[in-house]
A and B are shown apart, each in its own frame.
Chain A
Amino acid sequence: MRIILIGGGEVGYALARALAPNHDLHVIDHNPAVADRFHPLDVSFVPGSGTSAEVLGLGDVESSDLVIACTGLDEVNIIACALAKKLGATKTVCFVSGNDFLESVSGGYSLREHFGVDQTIWPEAQLADAIQRIIAAPGAIDAESFAGGQVRLLEYRLESGSPLTAAPIASLQLPRGAVVVAAKRGDTITIPHGETHLKPGDKVIVMGRGDAMVAMEARVAPDGRNLRDARQVTIIGGGDVGFRLAQLLDSRDDVSVRMIERDRVRGEMLAATLANALILSGDGTDLELLEMEEIGRSDVLVSVIDNDERNLLASLLGRQLGVTKIITRVSKVANLRLFERVGIDVALSAKGAAVESIVREVEGGKAKVLAVLEEGEAKIFELVVPDDFPATALRDLATPPESIVGTILRHGDAIVPHGNDRIEPGDRLLVFCTDTSADLMRTFFTSS
């Protein structure tokens, strides 16, 4: 694929690193000094502005398949996309950093119609949405939903005494409609089978229909201790992510939000806009403030300051004060592993997620990759069973190892299959597999 990247910042660099091995890449940035950074990658660097037709022409825009505008300025990104589209680019992706361009004219379609922007990506909003999904799932440390919300995917860390650790999976009698699709112990991820015996400290990924997942949630926590719905959420940092998250939570009656923001003027804006959230003016790392406001009694602490060190400090203080679930934003992707090492349950990166979603789309090919988990070690993708494929019971299907059919989508219904369920031509399958077996799985249905 011929790809033009406009903007050689953090996002541009991460995209270039991920896409350079398999695609032709032109990187455009007005700052020639940036070129050094891209030098080790096998890409062509064009100095100049992405809003110049001449510069875009140097990047062979007329024959490009994809133009991604990811400079720090929304206006530049939009103009670059509009120009690229006019000059013949097949598809344009535009990074934005605010609501203005998405909703200013009827439902966000204006950008497509008037500016030729095929897809907009607002990383901070995506992160806020992801955090909101995790908050909504009690006990979970990651959450996704597929098939219009019918199927949910939750990740848990098992504590000692959790019913799931009592026996091998086959004899646990898990609720029908939910299936354990992955277990991670240390750094190795495995697809469990009937004999797998889960242990405390493992991370497990469970997939299933909404109703079954509720029953599943009750089986995760140690006996006699119910997972509590998040009722009290504390957000540290009222930037783009914190503000949007607060907006998402603000309208819910069952969640009370308090937010700590250091900048008083920003805080006043937040207090003016949010109807129910309690805005506290102060520093999220101010222990006195955290204690005075009894932050330790929160069900969830979300730390989304745009400074990794202060985020980590606020999160660790929260843990010290007794918050059970802590979600932290990480700006530098390199810090992700570090955060989890020191005991942060969930560390998420806004730009990382955005980059991932683009890579997923570019690399996915025919099979539609729905989610990438555990930093790319596992994937969920959607496969369509070919029409000439004979209907087979799942237990008789010799699927590649380290893969599992999580859900069968048939005529709009979501079926979480057991061994006896049959796979029929035309079914859409949500397949979970580790990175290594992804290609095997992809070719399995077409070759047999």
Chain B
Amino acid sequence: MRLAIVFHLTGTILRFLGAAFVAPLLIALYSRESADAITFLATGVAAVVLGEVMRRQIRHREWTLKRVEALAVVVVTYLLVAMIGAVPYAMNGMTAADAMFESMSGITGTGATTLTDFDYFGRGLMFWRSMSQWLGGLGIITLFIAVLPRLAIGGRQLFFTETTTTPGSGGLKPHVRETAGMLWRLYVGLTLAEFVALMLAGLSAYDAICHAMTTISAGGFSPNPESIMGYNSAAVEWIICGFMFLAGTNFVLQYQTLLRGQLKASIADDEFRVYTAIVAIATIALTVFLLQTDMATATAVRSGLFQSLSILTTTGYASADFSLWTEQSRMVLLVLMFIGGCAGSAAGGPKIWRQILIARYTLLELKRTLHPRALLPVKLGGKVVPEDVMRAVLVFFLFYLLLFAVCVGVVVALGADILTGVTATTGTLGNIGPGFGQVGPMANYAGLHTVSKVVLTAAMLVGRLEVLTVLALLRPEAWRSLTLRGD
């Protein structure tokens, strides 16, 4: 691995990250939070300077990106962006672990928080908190590929290292920059649409933009300590339901369906159909269980849909304190935590296409037992899934389970109860946010042991980058040929 190249690419991205601090800076100035404004300015300038220094590690253009370097660029970028993003939190008195947790929760679109007192932070910082999720929603690399003309070399590799597409998925443009640009235009458009809709539903411009940014990114941060429940508005909940559904859907598919009018593309898509079916089944189940308590029918349906979508798309909003719901209802949500959204969406988790492949693979193995000589390829969308993709999916699940067990072990060993340990792990590894127990929707992660927070911060990163990207970097051969030179 040639560090100079890793630095060069990471630096190119960081340089532009600095520009992003302009937005919270303006909000802070407008709200007369001068201390925060200085922090944002200083952090932004620091990011630009650091980026420029790193970028200059290499000046010629005679290089190609190796696989291990692509992995390293993605992981190092996320780590550095999280660290820089953590500076404003730390300057406002959070501990290093808490600030890093909060920042990582932001850029990975998790939505888990260590904030206990929401009023303590200014509007500028709360805006940055929401904005960090928005920047990370489609993937930080994808964002910068879309806006940076300079990332011509290695851009394609980086894009596909960060974004996992389903095998044989169509609709992508020949140039990765055009693909990224197409996704970001759609992403910005959806955000603006939700912003307007929430404004019309009665939210202030500030609340509307903050929630629009964290819905479309399937993030789940809310400037309101009681999340969506705090607004107590059915209209707001319905609007957010619609946009959460979109955030969990493949953006390439949305582009084809919404902007090119190819409705068939969505209807024919295996993953989208399963996704819709899961939403429907979970909503019906939750509605039935909620109606057994004294809830009104309209509220039960709305809460059922909202919470199903919130957990399935790994957004993590709460329109009700679902940790107080009955065991049956919480069971439904717990199951949803292990599923995830669609490939190419803003959602995290193991993703539905992987679940489909695992289910089909398993069922075909049963068939193979009866017909040992049969040729039984696993198919997705009518196309055969190559053997290596299938193997990667299986390995993904094995590692996911392994990491899950390790994280639960650590969190519980350091003093949390089992329910908290299990749901805090799925909440962070699956980039959902809230769980049950100590980390419920109206509570937060602040009470966990510092080591637990560090482990869960790592879990967010590993989960966001779909496990194998990060774990492959832990292999010794990735580091054996480490050099600083870039040629």
Contacts and interface: CB of A to CB of B under 8 A. Distances in A.
A443 B384 CA distance: 60
Nearest to A279: B375
Contacts of A264: 375
Shortest 10 CB-CB distances between A and B: which pairs? A271-B375, A272-B384, A279-B375, A280-B373, A267-B375, A282-B373, A271-B377, A281-B375, A280-B374, A281-B373
Contact of A280 (B371, B383, B384): B371
Interface in A60-102: none
A279 B374 contact: yes
Interface string B341-382: 000000000000000000000000000000111111101001
A318 B312 CA distance: 52
A194 B289 CA distance: 74
B371 A293 contact: yes
Interface string A276-315: 0011111000000100110000000000000000000000
A280 B368 CA distance: 10
Nearest to A275: B382
A268 B376 CA distance: 8
Contact of A281 (B374, B379, B384): B374
Contacts of A267: 375
B373 A293 contact: yes
A278 B374 contact: yes
A259 to B, nearest CB: 10
Contact of B376 (A271, A282, A293): A271
A386 B375 CA distance: 59
B375 A280 contact: yes
Chain B binding surface, main DSSP class: loop
Contact of B375 (A268, A275, A289): A268
A280 B367 CA distance: 12
Contacts of B371: 278, 280, 293
Interface in B383-415: 383-384
Contacts of A280: 371, 373-375
A266 B4 CA distance: 48
Nearest to B383: A272
Interface string A215-251: 0000000000000000000000000000000000000
A288 to B, nearest CB: 10
A interface residue count range (under 10 / 10 to 19 / 20 to 34 / 35 or more): 10 to 19
Query: For the side of the interface on B, what is the size category?
Result: 10 to 19
A355 B384 CA distance: 39
B389 to A, nearest CB: 14
Nearest to B372: A292
Nearest to B376: A271
Contact of B373 (A270, A272, A275, A289): A289
Contacts of B375: 264, 267-268, 270-271, 279-281
B148 to A, nearest CB: 39
Among A268, A272, A275, the one with the most B-chain Cβ atoms within 10 Å of its Cβ is A272
Contacts of A272: 377, 379, 383-384
Interface of A: 264, 267-268, 270-272, 275, 278-282, 289, 292-293
Contacts of B373: 280-282, 289, 292-293
A292 B372 CA distance: 9
Nearest to A278: B374
B446 to A, nearest CB: 53
A360 to B, nearest CB: 39
Contacts of B377: 268, 271-272
A271 B375 CA distance: 6
A282 B374 CA distance: 9
Contacts of A292: 372-373
A289 B372 CA distance: 10
B375 to A, nearest CB: 4
Nearest to A264: B375
A305 B383 CA distance: 27
Contacts of A282: 373
B20 to A, nearest CB: 46
A390 B224 CA distance: 96
Contacts of B374: 278-281
A265 to B, nearest CB: 10
Contacts of A275: 379, 382
A232 B383 CA distance: 25
Contacts of A293: 371, 373
20 contacts: A268-B375, A268-B377, A268-B384, A271-B375, A271-B377, A271-B384, A272-B379, A272-B383, A275-B382, A278-B371, A278-B374, A279-B374, A280-B371, A280-B373, A280-B375, A281-B373, A282-B373, A292-B372, A293-B371, A293-B373
Interface string B45-59: 000000000000000
Nearest to B367: A278
A270 B373 CA distance: 14
A271 B379 CA distance: 10
Contacts of B383: 272
A282 B373 CA distance: 7
A282 B379 CA distance: 22
B385 to A, nearest CB: 10
Given A271-B375, A280-B373, A282-B373, 9 more contacts: A268-B377, A272-B377, A275-B379, A278-B374, A279-B374, A279-B375, A280-B371, A281-B375, A293-B371
Contacts of A268: 375, 377, 384
A281 B371 CA distance: 10
Max chain A Cβ within 10 angstroms of own Cβ: one of B371, B372, B374, B376: B374
Nearest to A260: B373
A186 to B, nearest CB: 42
A27 B76 CA distance: 74
Contacts of A270: 375
A88 to B, nearest CB: 47
A275 B383 CA distance: 10
A292 B375 CA distance: 15
A278 B371 CA distance: 9
Contacts of A281: 373-375
A283 B383 CA distance: 26
Contacts of B382: 275
Nearest to A293: B371
A133 to B, nearest CB: 27
Interface string B71-107: 0000000000000000000000000000000000000
A33 B247 CA distance: 71
A430 B247 CA distance: 64
A21 to B, nearest CB: 50
A279 B379 CA distance: 14
Nearest to A288: B373
A292 B368 CA distance: 13
Nearest to A268: B375
Nearest to A261: B375
A280 B371 CA distance: 8
A272 B379 CA distance: 8
Interface centre among B373, B382, B384 (most CB of A within 10 A): B373
A275 B371 CA distance: 17
B370 to A, nearest CB: 9
A267 B374 CA distance: 9
B323 to A, nearest CB: 44
- Count chain A CB atoms within 10 A of each CB in B372, B373, B375, B379 and give the residue with the most: B375
Q: Which of A275, A280, A289 has the most chain B CB atoms closer than 10 A to its own CB?
A: A280
A435 to B, nearest CB: 47
A292 B382 CA distance: 29
Nearest to A271: B375
B461 to A, nearest CB: 37
A310 B372 CA distance: 23
A73 to B, nearest CB: 30
B279 to A, nearest CB: 26
A86 to B, nearest CB: 40
A280 B376 CA distance: 9
B288 to A, nearest CB: 32
A144 B377 CA distance: 36
Contacts of B376: 271
